[in-house]
Amino acid sequence: MWFFNKKKPTATNHIAIDPRFSAQLKNFKPVIEKHADHERPIIEVKDLTKKYFVHHKFKEVLSKISFSVYEGEQVAILGTNGAGKTTLLEILSGSVVPSSGRIYYDYDFKYSPQERIGIQFQDASCPRGLKVFDIISFQNSINRYKISEADLAKLLKTFRLDQMLNKQAHKLSGGQQQRLNVFLAVMSDPKILFLDELSTALDINAQLWMFKYVKNYINKNKITTLISSHNVREIIHFAQRVIILRDGSIVLDTTIKSIIQHFGSLERFMSNYLKIK
């Protein structure tokens, strides 16, 4: 007796690209902000490549990435999962060594450029048994650029942490944890700040507060900022420029303003552009 197993149709989340978008994309001319001739990039990336040895062969995660970021710029690094954006930020922060290529950092530091880089980690859980005060004190003790007591007190008040120094850090709410994460990232007087999904675990009110205070701090201190996020509101709030990665290469580098002017909204652009294979 023969049995025939009829395959059931599998569900898919694939949504076709808006045909109007495809037509608009053909006529889109990416725009890059012009900088004065005397300005030099604070970060300059040249032919950056990263390969990992996986399953007995090399897998190229980044392929000859080149771009420059100027002082005070706020740039979003975007792409689908696996595009290479996390690896790129890890290399820029010094936690991963590239396979080839060069990175030039043009700002003052004592021993290494990573001393002046602040990183807000997306998932930075605190160990049990430590109070908020303990974590802040330890972070300040290992920073090359230590914050003064007066500036520390002012910053604690700005981020609303001054009333929770004696709280167990692992018991903080999602919003409180994110405030602590950002505080730890900026307390070393960074020249460059990495924001990784800043709005994670925040409700709308907490997002608005965090966006306002972090944005004000960045602008006041002229901090060059690189953002990685899937939240369109967050991207628009913090970035003027987007660099989009696909399969380890830069496929688009332009201003958010030019995208909105041509496609109507960043959300419409991203929802269609990231589907392109």
Q: pLDDT for 118-176, tens place per residue?
A: 988 766 667 788 999 999 998 888 888 778 888 889 889 888 899 999 999 988 888 88
What's the chain's average pLDDT?
86
pLDDT average, residue stretch 85-103: 92
Mean pLDDT calculated for residue range 195-221: 86
What predicted TM-score, i.e. pTM, was given to this entire model?
0.85
Task: Please state whether beta strands 224-228 and 74-78 pair in parallel, antiparallel, or not at all (unpaired).
Answer: parallel
- Judge whether residue 4 has pLDDT over 60: no
Give the residue with greater pLDDT, 188 vs 91: 91
**Cα separation of 122 and 208, whole Å?**
18
pLDDT at 19 over 60: yes
Q: What percent of the chain has pLDDT over 70?
A: 92
Angstrom CA distances, 114 to 117, 170, 221, 225, 261, stand at: 5, 27, 18, 14, 37
In which band, very low, low, confident or very high, does the pLDDT at 210 lie, cut at 50, 70 and 90? confident
pLDDT for res 77: 95
| Overall average pLDDT of the 56-70 stretch | 92
The reported pLDDT for the residue numbered 66 is: 96
Question: What average pLDDT does this structure show over 226-243?
Answer: 93
Per-residue pLDDT of 244-274, as tens digits, reads: 999 999 999 999 999 999 999 999 999 999 8
**Neighbour tally for 260: CB within 10 Å:** 15
Q: Report how far residue 143's alpha carbon sits from residue 111's, in angstroms, rounded to the nearest whole number.
A: 12
